[in-house]
Amino acid sequence: MPETIRAVDIKGGTGPADSLFITSIPKPVPAAAQALVKIKAFGLNRMDLFQREGHYPLPPQAGKILGVEFSGIIEGVGEDPEKGFKVGDEVFGLAYGGAYAEYIAVSTHMLVHKPKELSWEECAGIPETWITATQALYLIGCYTPGKSVLWHAGASSVSIAGIQLSLGDSPSAVFATARQDSKCEFITNTLGATAAFNTSTQDWPAEVLKATNGKGVDVIIDFVGASYFQGNLDAIARDGVIVTLGMLGGTVLPAGVDISAFVWKRARFEGSSLRSRDEEYQGKLRDTLVEHALPRFVDGRFKVFVEKVFPWEEVVEAHRLMEANKTMGKIICRVE
């Protein structure tokens, strides 16, 4: 009889937060370049909510178990692991799925050695959010020093990472939006952004243009979609790039949207995702994270903001907290 481990499953396959429960599944076996990692902590992401509800198209590599980022200790390796990873190493990493569990089999190409300066909980909050922000800012947004950036949903974990990345690379200005004054204050006072605009009470495209003397911003990172589409075109600078990573504000454009800015501003609009990318693509982003960001985590210039840590037995409450949209940092579950 195969050895089993505990993992979080969903009653009926999809459902609300209270459909999550801990069950037994076969213990994964590492193959080829994989490692078997005993998980110490895993991070929650909004895609987990969509997957739980049955609204997230899974890549073929992902199984039914939720979770894409984790920290832990390598307990075993396949026959051809990446050089530098061995049994006993403390690591954190990115997976296609399966992190809501006691163990995960994951490619060593997506692992990073855990610095002693960071906790298990902090490391579990890095991979998905910081790699997504890196991809959006540099690979898709084509950011270079001296440009300006606007991060929507500025208190979300990806934007918290992205704002820090932007500020660490000589921008002309870094702006953000949020829907609560407390989040705007966090973005400016704690993260150090140039300005943050409350989209519930302010005409944010007009505020962006005012703050940039009418020029607009060079790069916009958006998670909202249809309801911000016109505002993004109004706020983008000439030759700017609008990167869309989510559709929280819908997918159907309202009547009257004016797309002329695509021509007279020479604006580029591009959508992207990370989880659907192949391992080679993700591995290059991991290398960028290690080279560019990891030293700044170690010396304190970059920070992982953790909103709350739950025992993983309280994963239902963790999902409910994420659904409330009140957090300013990562939600982490600790696996005892």
The full set of domains in the chain, from first to last, is: 4-126+275-334 (3.90.180.10), 130-271 (3.40.50.720)
- Phi-psi region for residue 217, left (φ > 0), alpha (ψ -120 to 50) or beta? beta
Alpha carbons 99 and 166: distance in angstroms, whole number: 29
Return the pLDDT at 118: 97
Cβ atoms within 10 A of the Cβ of 252, count? 9
Residue 148: per-residue pLDDT: 98
pLDDT in tens, the chain (336 residues): 569 999 999 999 999 999 999 999 999 999 999 999 999 999 999 999 999 999 888 888 888 999 999 999 999 999 999 999 999 999 999 999 999 999 999 999 999 999 999 999 999 999 999 999 999 999 999 999 999 999 999 999 999 999 999 999 999 999 999 999 999 999 999 999 999 999 999 999 999 999 999 999 999 999 999 999 999 999 999 999 999 998 888 889 988 999 999 999 999 999 988 888 888 889 899 999 999 999 999 999 999 999 999 999 999 999 999 999 989 999 999 998
Give every CB contact of residue 86 below 8 A, 6+ residues apart in sequence. 74, 77
pLDDT in tens, 219-256: 999 999 999 999 999 999 999 999 999 888 888 998 89
Give the residue from 221, 252, 264, 215 showing the smallest Cα distance to 235: 215
- Is-above-0.85 flag for pTM? yes
Give the tokens for residue 227: 């309801």
Q: What is the pLDDT of residue 273?
A: 84
Tokens of 31: 């193959």
Task: For 165-189, write each residue's pLDDT tens digit.
Answer: 999 999 999 999 999 999 999 999 9
pLDDT at 1: 52
CA atoms within 13 A on the CB side of 196: 28
The residue type at 23: T
- Determine the pLDDT at residue 278: 85
- The pair of structure tokens assigned to 127 is 């991979």
